[in-house]
Amino acid sequence: MTVKKNHKKNSKAKLISFAILVLLVIAIGLSMYQSFKIDLMMKDLHDLTERRKQLMSDTQQLQSEVNKLTNIDRIQRMALRNGMIRNTDDRKVLLFKENERWDKLAETFDDKKKRAKSYDFAGVR
């Protein structure tokens, strides 16, 4: 009888030992998995940071180029080099109200066409 009790105690101890071993293996595996995931995320973060720096640099370079190309003094120098002259005519600017009707305006300008003056349209509001 004592052999059966010892056998039951031993099998119970073996089962508990096996369960603890399995839990330990699972815990170590989860820890390693988490470490690998963190390493991958850190690598991705580093890559994204480098990409952001590159994009910021490209943006600054493009903004500098846009500023250079839209510089009014540069445009005027190029125009003069190409034989263009600055327009010195007086400009007439017409501002329209939103509720003003276009057909009424067309009739008015149709009458004005008969005159010798011409109008340049700068914009419509």
The pLDDT tens digits of the residues spanning 25-75 come to 999 999 999 999 999 999 999 999 999 999 999 999 999 998 888 888 888
Query: Please, are residues 119 and 94 in contact by the beta-carbon 8 Å criterion?
Result: yes
CA–CA distance, 26 with 29 (Å, rounded to integer)? 5
Q: Is 19 helix (H, G, I), strand (E, B) or coil?
A: helix
Q: Which two tokens stand for residue 68?
A: 């250079």
Q: Is the pLDDT of residue 109 over 90?
A: no
Task: Tell me which DSSP letter residue 93 carries.
Answer: -
Closest alpha carbon to 109 in 35, 44, 96, 56: 96
Supply the pTM of this predicted model.
0.44
The position carrying tokens 């850190």 is: 42
Q: Which two tokens stand for residue 54?
A: 């590159």
Query: Please, are residues 90 and 120 in contact by the beta-carbon 8 Å criterion?
Result: no
In the chain, what percentage of residues exceed pLDDT 70?
69
